[in-house]
Amino acid sequence: MPTTFHDLEAYQKLPRLSGLVLSPDGSRLVTSVSEPDPKGTRFRSALWEIDPAGRRPARRLTRGSKPDTAAQFLPSGELLFTSARPDPAAAKPDEDAPAALWLLPEAGEARAVGTRPGGIATPMVAREAGTVVVTSLTLPTASTAEEDQQRRTARKDRGVSAILHTGYPVRYWDADLGPDQPRLLVGAIPDDGAHVQWHDLTPDAGPALRNASYDVTPDGSTVVTGWTVPAERGDRRAQIVAIDVASGERRVLAGDAAHDYGGPVVSPDGRRVVCSRSTLPTPTRCPEQDLVVLAVDGSAEPRVVTEGWDRWPIWYRWTADSAALIVTADDRGRSPVFRLELDGAVTKLTGDDGAYTDLVVAPDGSAVYALRSSIDRMPAPVRLDPTTPEQEPVGLPAPAETPELPGTLTEVTATAEDGTPLRSWLVLPEGASAQRPAPLVLAIHGGPLGSWNAWQWRWNPWLIAARGYAVLLPDPALSTGYGSDFVQRGWGAWGAAPYTDLMALTDAAVARPDIDETRTAAAGGSFGGYMANWIAGHTDRFRAIVTHASLWALDQFGPTTDVATYWRHEMSPSMEQANSPHRFAEKITSPMLVIHGDRDYRVPIGEALRLWYDLVNGHDGPPEEFPHRFLYFPDENHWILTPGNAVVWYQTVLAFLDHHVLGEEWQTPDDLT
């Protein structure tokens, strides 16, 4: 029976939830829901309200012409959010204005309450005082908003886009950095309907606040933020600093040459802050991740609270009484919720197969709210008890439910060459059986520090299952959720244990009677694309290889990626030489579909261009028999983000698989003809 996953256009219209914020009285839960705009060319997000008690259906709160994001409640119960929608109250509403801060009362229309020439981002609210903290991009020499606007206008009028850099990095993911830089601004929402008068808390920040997260104490007196400082050879160290709002005085709470710190979250009592701490990797040793508790006033030494817990925390929030932490971490193909006492004791709160994100703790301590997803369930809001072990979540009414799936989900286990237990998820299409075995697609996750444990929008296995394929989702060496030793097995040797683990799990999958071992393909993106490239040069067992945003020549990738300083820590010249897929180009026999976006700065387009030329150069047969394809997106980045391009991505991948794995005639997607 046809499902939503048989129709790529219908699939793109499924609502996509992200983020949760709870009102001060605990009665309103708000999330962001993304759907295609009326033209179907861009995703646009709106704010929706969810009943924490689970009695009322979800209701839509905003309907702007631009995405509405970053919701935060004021102590009064009014809702703040950011949006680049034109302000109808302006003398000349500007369709191209940067994002502003908007306020939505409990009853009435939203109105703009804060603007800056460089836009407004990431509002945080002091839960008692109502002080609002935001970031805004500001030109380095501008001391006021007016001066910032004058300089921006002058650059635009003169047609100047050039950026003069004095340090590293110069770009990040898909963004060119500069010439403006983020600053922290603080202010209060006026009662008279006027705009916020922002106070620039960090006029001397320079690039220190790039990609930083921050929080504010309940009384609004102190902002705690990440703060990067330059180090030798273009490197940076990430610290945690506290900034006094009244004076602007800044003091370091955590920072040293051996660690990076980030993600500060202030406790409800305002006395402490928890943050992440990561050791610097080396070519022979993987990083270690911990949570550290600091005193906001700097009166106590940092305290590691995850010592001895062999998991890497992802989301973390304080309990309402500031006595413990609610934490998520990858764990054997899931990402459960844990309660972490400050003495290090850990209680697993969820006992299902879910992956939990966006934790929110009720102000009275009665509940924890989260978005829960899994390989076979879209993200949806749930409620948990903050103390009950191994509980089942209570589902809350969501804007949309997961449609009927075109198959079933199970697990496959195997044993690595060194005896380590291995596991993976296996998506089986409807009708797969010993009498009708399904062809198999090996899908390799990116990272490499990651795990298949949550719903996927970009590499959705159910779209592939709808075409009759089984999809294997393995966690090989380097995957998270199995302990540091499991990561260490593949550290500095990407082509060794990660590759043999993938082959062992593939062997276990094709040994099943409902899988056709003669019709298989491999696919992956980012690090998964690297592994697809490595597989292509080391085995001919797969009829087709799909490689997206992939690393090809490690000696080229390391210095040209947006964060080359990180890879210098992890990659030595000998590691690059031993593990670079490009050295085995001449051994590739499987047809390859190469996919890349030109705006990808994490894995630059040069990787795909070099891979493509090596494939072309290695083909000595007639041009019409050239088996490879290159799907190029001039305006996409590491991910394919627009609905139309996403549809073309899936159409091309499925056409390539159908042609080479099933032997069907090649069909070029209509939009590519």
pLDDT of the residue at 212:
96
Q: Which SS3 state, helix, strand or coil, does residue 623 take?
A: helix
pLDDT in tens, 400-440: 889 999 999 999 999 999 999 999 999 999 999 999 999 99
Q: How many domains does the chain have?
A: 2
pLDDT of the residue at 475:
98
Tell me the C-alpha distance between 185 and 529, whole Å. 40
pLDDT in tens, 16-52: 999 999 999 999 999 999 999 999 899 999 999 999 9
Whether residue 576 contacts residue 187, with contact meaning beta carbons closer than 8 Å, is answered with: no
Last residue of a domain, one of 210, 241, 270: 210
Cα–Cα distance list, 374 to 15, 334, 416, 459 (Å): 16, 8, 25, 13
Residue 463 maps to which CATH number? 3.40.50.1820
Q: Pairing mode, if any, of strands 629-633 and 592-597?
A: parallel
Residue 88 belongs to a domain: yes
DSSP state of 211: T
Tell me the C-alpha distance between 262 and 238, whole Å. 7
Reported confidence tier of residue 313, pLDDT bands at 50, 70, 90: very high
Reported confidence tier of residue 649, pLDDT bands at 50, 70, 90: very high
Torsion, Cα 269 210 240 261, to 10 degrees, reads 110
Q: Tell me if the bond preceding 498 is cis, omega within 30° of 0.
A: no
Residue 326 belongs to a domain: no
Contacts of 285 (CB under 8 A, 6+ apart): 488, 491
Whether residue 327 contacts residue 357, with contact meaning beta carbons closer than 8 Å, is answered with: no
Residue 33 belongs to a domain: no
Whether residue 319 contacts residue 326, with contact meaning beta carbons closer than 8 Å, is answered with: yes
Phi and psi at 53, nearest 5°, equal -80, -15
Residue 32 belongs to a domain: no
Average pLDDT over residues 382-392: 97
Last residue of a domain, one of 184, 210, 236: 210
Residue 248 belongs to a domain: no
Last residue of a domain, one of 144, 177, 210: 210
Q: Which residues pair with 441 in a beta bridge?
A: 471, 521
In whole angstroms, what separates CA 219 from the centre of its chain? 31
pLDDT in tens, 340-366: 999 999 999 999 999 999 999 999 999
pLDDT in tens, 511-569: 999 999 999 999 999 999 999 999 999 999 999 999 999 999 999 999 999 999 999 99
pLDDT of the residue at 95:
82
The token duo for 556 is: 């080229």
Spatial strand order of the sheet with 214-216 comes to: 214-216, 222-230, 236-244, 250-254
Residue 51 belongs to a domain: no
pLDDT over 80 at 91, yes or no: no
Tell me the C-alpha distance between 224 and 218, whole Å. 12
Residue 137 belongs to a domain: yes
% of residues, the chain, pLDDT over 70: 100
Tell me the C-alpha distance between 257 and 268, whole Å. 30
Whether residue 345 contacts residue 386, with contact meaning beta carbons closer than 8 Å, is answered with: no
Reported confidence tier of residue 229, pLDDT bands at 50, 70, 90: very high
Q: Which residues pair with 265 in a beta bridge?
A: 274
pLDDT in tens, 163-196: 999 999 999 999 999 999 999 999 999 988 899 9
Structural domain range at position 179: 62-210
Residue 539 belongs to a domain: yes
